[in-house]
Amino acid sequence: MINEDLFYFINHNLQNSVFDVIMPYITYLGGFEFVLLFCLIAILLCIVFKKKDAKRIALLCLLSLVIAAGIGFILKHIFTQPRPFILLNNVRVLVTELDPNSFPSGHTLSTFSVVGFLALKTKNKLWAVLLIVWGLLVGFSRIYVGVHMPLDVLAGIAVGMFSAYFVYKFEDKIFEIYYSVVGVFKK
C-alpha cells in the first residue's frame, strides 16, 4: 500500500507544468542508451586527449553500467512486474515505454551504476553529493512520468550501487585481467 500511495503522491500530487516539461528529459538522460553514449564519448575523448587516468575511470564506468544492465535484464525477466500504468488506474503517463516489465528501474540502475562509481572515486564530497542527487532525480522522474513504482526505483538504486561498488572494490583486479587480455591480442 505504501508503494502505491507514494506512487500516486509523486505522480499526481506533485504534478505541475514545470515538472511535466522537465521530467521526461531527465528520465531520458538516465536511460541505458544515453548513459552508454556518455561512457563511450568519455572513453573516446580520453583516448584523443591522452588522459590515461580518466580513461581508466571511464572504462570502469562502462563496466559498471554493463554489469548493472545485465543484472537488471535478468531481474526484469524473473519478476515480470507490470508497470504502474498497466497495474493501476488513473496513472499520468508522460513518456512511451514499450517494455511491460517494471522491476527494477533500468534507467535508475543505469544512472546509479555510473554516478555511484564516480561518487565513490571522487575525493570531492560536493561532487559526490551532486552525482547522487542526479541519480535520485532520475529515479524520481521515473515515478513522476508514470512508468515505475517507488520499489522499482529503490531496486534500481540497489543494483546500480552494487555494480558501482563491485567495480570500485575490484578495479585493480579488473585491470589486471584487462591488461592480460589486451596483451594477448597485441602479440
Here the cell at position 59 is: 572504462
Q: Residue ranges per domain, the chain?
A: 2-12+38-174
The mean of the pLDDT values for the chain is 94
pLDDT, position 185: 60
pLDDT digits (tens, 9 = 90+) for 140-165: 999 999 999 999 999 999 999 999 99
Please state the pTM of the whole predicted model.
Answer: 0.93
Long-range contacts of 140-144 (CB under 8 A, 24+ apart): 140/10, 140/23, 141/23, 141/24, 141/26, 141/27, 141/30, 141/107, 142/27, 142/30, 142/105, 142/107, 142/108, 143/6, 143/7, 143/10, 143/11, 144/10, 144/11, 144/14, 144/19, 144/23, 144/27, 144/94
pLDDT digits (tens, 9 = 90+) for 57-94: 999 999 999 999 999 999 999 999 999 999 999 999 99
pLDDT-derived band at 186 (thresholds 50, 70, 90) equals low
